[in-house]
């Protein structure tokens, strides 16, 4: 009987440990992307908010996207927040010309005030800013890292600017970890380990762990080894970008950040 109790306790502790380790820790921009989809934002702004629908009656002809069009309508995260909550910014509403243009269009931005929780608003702002590649690093090395991560295709799996967590069936948590989320700190404990992941597609620590290898092997998407594709200085630039991305400077609208 005692042996059975010990076995049950061990099973319970093991299950609890697994559930704790496997718990989702989505970054703000990914939560915002999922929320935008559920709230109908992509109905007018298009898939991922990057292809606006036709809008008859407007001179610009289409609904603005979160990408290149954004800065024509919002100069910073605070104004993005205004658009979400009020359907426009105060400065736009004060313009009779803008109001006339808005009223002429078949589609108009709805106001989500009262429909969303505060944390949901922050997450939506985080996604819109990520989709518009805003903000960008001021540090030249970190900026070079952003450019290289795009050129190397890192954003194909880690999302825009490394800020998203796309689905990855079979993986431990079911998604590709972002570079600015809490999962990243569990996978990468140092610059050396980051270089191992980039060069070899896996760190020495994870390669030596059978449980980690089991989850990595069964995942649909696998981290590629970039050793043959890196130019001199790429690894240092990528790390500089990661450090910037995980700093408060990269986070719009006071979203939470986990730093090293």
- Beta carbons within 10 angstroms of residue 219's beta carbon: 18
Helix (H, G, I), strand (E, B) or coil at 242: helix
**pLDDT (0 to 100) of residue 1:** 60
- Beta carbons within 10 angstroms of residue 204's beta carbon: 12
**pLDDT (0 to 100) of residue 72:** 80
- Tokens linked to 144: 């070079």
Please name every residue paired with 175 in a beta bridge, in sequence order, or none if there are none.
Answer: 167
**pLDDT (0 to 100) of residue 144:** 98
- Beta carbons within 10 angstroms of residue 184's beta carbon: 21
**pLDDT (0 to 100) of residue 68:** 77
- 45-70 burial: b if 16+ Cβ within 10 Å, else e: bbebbbebeebeebeeebbbbbbebb
3-state helix, strand, coil in the chain (%, to 5): 60, 0, 40
DSSP state of 138: S
CA distance 260 to 21: 19
Phi then psi for residue 148, to 5 deg, are -70, -35
What string of DSSP letters covers 55-87? -TT-TT-BPPPSSTTGGGT-SSHHHHHHHHHHS
CA distance 41 to 36: 5
- Tokens linked to 216: 């990595």
**pLDDT (0 to 100) of residue 227:** 96
In 162-250, which residue ranges form alpha helices assigned H by DSSP?
Answer: 182-187, 191-200, 204-207, 210-218, 234-245
**pLDDT (0 to 100) of residue 60:** 87
**pLDDT (0 to 100) of residue 234:** 97
Length of the chain: 260
Please name every residue paired with 62 in a beta bridge, in sequence order, or none if there are none.
Answer: 54
Query: Which are the contacts of 254, defined by CB distance < 8 A and separation ≥ 6?
Result: 122
**pLDDT (0 to 100) of residue 51:** 92
**pLDDT (0 to 100) of residue 253:** 58
**pLDDT (0 to 100) of residue 206:** 96
Closest CA to 145 of 67, 243, 29, 247: 243
Domains of the chain and CATH, by start: 29-131 (1.10.760.10), 137-254 (1.10.760)
Q: Which residues of the chain have pLDDT under 70?
A: 1-22, 252-260
**pLDDT (0 to 100) of residue 258:** 38
């Amino acid at each position: 009987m005692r042996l059975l109790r010990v076995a049950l306790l061990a099973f319970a502790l093991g299950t609890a440990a697994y559930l704790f380790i496997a718990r989702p820790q989505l970054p703000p921009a990914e939560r915002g992307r999922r929320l935008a989809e559920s709230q109908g934002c992509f109905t007018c702004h298009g898939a991922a908010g990057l292809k606006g629908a036709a809008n008859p009656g407007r001179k610009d002809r289409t609904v603005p996207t979160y990408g290149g069009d954004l800065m024509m309508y919002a100069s910073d995260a605070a104004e993005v927040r205004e658009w979400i909550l009020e359907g426009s910014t105060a400065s736009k509403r004060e313009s009779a010309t803008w109001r006339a243009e808005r009223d002429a269009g078949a589609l108009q931005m709805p106001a989500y005030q009262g429909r969303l929780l505060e944390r949901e608003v922050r997450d939506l702002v985080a996604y819109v800013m990520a989709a518009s590649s805003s903000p960008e690093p001021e540090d030249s090395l970190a900026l070079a890292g952003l450019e290289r991560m795009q050129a190397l295709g890192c954003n194909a799996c880690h999302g825009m600017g490394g800020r998203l967590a796309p689905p990855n069936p079979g993986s431990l948590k079911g998604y590709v970890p972002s570079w600015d989320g809490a999962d990243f700190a569990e996978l990468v404990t140092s610059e050396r380990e980051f270089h191992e992941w980039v060069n070899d597609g896996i760190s020495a620590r994870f390669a030596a762990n059978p449980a980690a290898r089991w989850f990595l092997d069964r995942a649909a998407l696998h981290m590629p080894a970039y050793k043959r594709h890196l130019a001199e200085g790429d690894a240092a630039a990528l790390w500089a970008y990661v450090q910037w991305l995980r700093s408060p400077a990269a986070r719009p609208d006071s979203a939470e950040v986990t730093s090293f």
